[in-house]
Amino acid sequence: MALRAAPRDPFTLDAAAERWVAQTLNTLTPDEKIGQLIVPSFESNFLSTDSDAFEMLTRLVREYHVGGFHVFGASQPAPSVLLNSGYGTVILGQPFSAAFLINRLQAMSKAPLLNTADFETGVGFRIAGATAFPRQMAMGAIPEADGLRLVREEARITAIESRALGVQVNFAPVADVNNNPRNPVINIRSYGENPERVAALVGAYLSGARAGKMIATIKHFPGHGDTDVDSHLGLPVITFDRARLQRVELLPFRRGVEQGAEAVMAAHIVLPALDPAPLTPATFSRPILHDLLRTEMGFGGLVYTDSMSMDAVARMVTPEEGAVRAVLAGADQVLHSPDPIAAFKGIQSALASGRLSQAHIDDSVTRVLRAKASVGLHLQRVIDLDAVPSVVGGRAHEAVAQDAFARAITLVKDERRQVPLTVPRDASILYLSILDYPSGWQIAAPSRTFIPELKKRWANVTSIEVSDHTPMSELDLVRAVAPRYRAVVASVFVRSTSGSGRLDLGPELVRLLKDLSRITDRSSVPFVTTIFGNPYTTSFLSELPAVLLTYDFYDQTERAAVRAIAGEAPIGGRLPITLTPELRAGFGLDRP
C-alpha cells in the first residue's frame, strides 16, 4: 500500500476552536504539556473534600496537570485503590457521584479534562441507573439491518448518557475479530468472527457515537481476537504473517479509520510480523503505532494505551519506563498507570535527557487539545447536574436495550421441538442454575432474574444451583429426581472474564448435563438449556436437545431468555461465530 504524506485529522474544528487549540498550546508550560499525556483513574464514590483520596486527585490535577481521568464504577473501599484500581471487584457507581466529582475536578484544572470510561455495553455497564446493552457478540447475533440499526442506537444513547455525566471518550467499540474459541479476554466482547461483519458494526457504532457527540475508540489495535492468553495476566503473541493480519485482524481497524474514528487503543500483544523486535507489544512498538497506524493507515486521531496496570506490561517495565516507551512508540495518552506520578516523572526525565523531544510531545498535546475542542470542552467543561435524571436511563432508552436483548437470543438446537415450552402453567418444573464457579460474579448474580421470571409463568418451580464445588452426592440427587418433573430447564453460566484465567465448565457438570439429556429423553420430559456467557461452551455439549444462546449473563439477558422459552417473544438470532461443523456462523432457528 502506498504511504500517505500525512495522517488524516478526524477532528473538525471551527475557526474559534482552532484558535483556542493554538493559544492553549502556547500557554502550557513543558510540565503542563507532559501532564496532558497522563490519564489516571478514579472510582465513582462520594469523596469528602477533607479526605486522602480527594487530596490525591487534587494533586494529580494541580501539580501534575493530567489530561483527564478514566472513570470506573465504585469499589469497597475506594480510597485505598485510587492509583491502581485494577480490574478487581467492582460494583456499579452512582450517576451523581461520578458527575459531581468530575465537575469538582474540572473546576480546578487549567485545561479542561478529557475523561474516559469503559462503557462497552452502555453507561449502565459501570454506573447504576444508566442504560445497559447486550455484549457486542449478542449485538453481532442480531441479523443484518436490525443489528446495524441497534448498534447505532446503542452508541448514540451511550454517548448521550455518558456526556451527561462528564465523560467524553468511550473505549468502545471492540474491533477485534474473535476467531479463537479459547480467547479468554475478548470472546463475547467481539461482534464475531467475520471481519467484514465486524467492520460494518464498528462503522455503525462510530456513526451513533458521532451523533451523540462522543469520541468512540476502536480497540485493541492491531487485533486481540486470535489470542489464547489474557493480557491482564500475561503477554499474548500473535504469530500470523502480515497477509493474514491484513485480511482478518486489521480490516475492521482500517475501515474504522476510513470512517473517521477519532481514537484508537493499542493492545498489549506481540506481533512479530509487524515488529520483529523481541517481546515488544504494540503498546511499545513504533513500527505498529506510527508506521502502520499513523503513516500507512493514515490515522490522525488520539492513540491511547490500554491500561498500563495490566500484567502484560506492568511486569515488564516500571511505570516510568512504560510511559516513556509508549509515548516514543506513538501513544498520545498513557492510560491507568499503576503510578501516574511516576509516569509523569518518567516522561519529564526523558524530555530532559533528549530521549523525547519537545516537538514529539507537542504533537501529542495538539491532538489531545483538538480532541477536547471537538467535543466542546473549550466552551463548556462543567455539566448540568440538574439534567442528569432526565438524560441518564429512562424508559425510552431501556426499550431500545430490551429490543436488542430479545433479538440477540439464538436458538441453535431444538431436536424435540420443545421451544417454546408448552407444558401446562401448573406443571412442576425443575430449574438448574449451573455455574462454572461460584465466586467473583461482581454485579451479576446468576439466575437472580431467571427464577422469578420463570415462576411468573410456571408457579411450581424447584430451583437448584450447582457448580464445580457441588459434591457428587448432590449431583447424583439431581439425576435421580429429574424424571419426576414435567420439564427440566437449565441455565449454564460460563464466564470469559478479564483477569480470571478461566473459560470452561467443570467436567462433572458437563457429565451432569449429558446424563440429563439421556434421562429426559427416556422419560419424555422436555429439557431446555440456555447458555449464558461464553457461547463456545455449546461445542462440548452436543448431546443437549434444545439450546439457546444469549452471549451475556446479566438481568436483562435472563429476562429475555425466559420470554423466549415461554413463547412470548420471537427468536431470530444468528450465530456470529462457528461452534461446530454443524453450527456455523450465520446459523439459527426461527421461532415466531
Active site amino acids: 232, 306
Q: Are strands 263-266 and 215-221 parallel, antiparallel or unpaired?
A: parallel
Q: Does the CA dihedral 261-265-267-271 come out positive or negative? A: positive
| Joined grid coordinates for residue 454 | 420463570
Based on C-alpha coordinates, what's the Rg of the chain?
24
Interatomic CA distance for residues 96 and 104, integer angstroms: 12
| Cβ neighbours of residue 93 closer than 8 Å, sequence gap 6 or more | 43, 44, 45, 71, 72, 73, 74, 126, 127, 128
Interatomic CA distance for residues 392 and 128, integer angstroms: 10
How is the chain split among helix, strand and coil, in percent rounded to 5?
40, 15, 45
Alpha carbon separation from 300 to 93, 331, 363 (Å, rounded): 33, 12, 11
Interatomic CA distance for residues 444 and 126, integer angstroms: 12
Strand partners, 303: 264
Cell 458521532, residue? 210
Interatomic CA distance for residues 452 and 369, integer angstroms: 50
Degrees (nearest 5) of the Cα angle 206, 212, 215? 50
Do 158 and 119 contact (CB within 8 A), yes or no? Answer: yes
| Cβ neighbours of residue 258 closer than 8 Å, sequence gap 6 or more | none
Interatomic CA distance for residues 359 and 341, integer angstroms: 22
Strand partners, 529: 490, 547
Q: Angle formed by the axes of helices 319-329 and 358-374, to 10°?
A: 80
| Cβ neighbours of residue 195 closer than 8 Å, sequence gap 6 or more | 177, 247, 248, 249, 251, 252
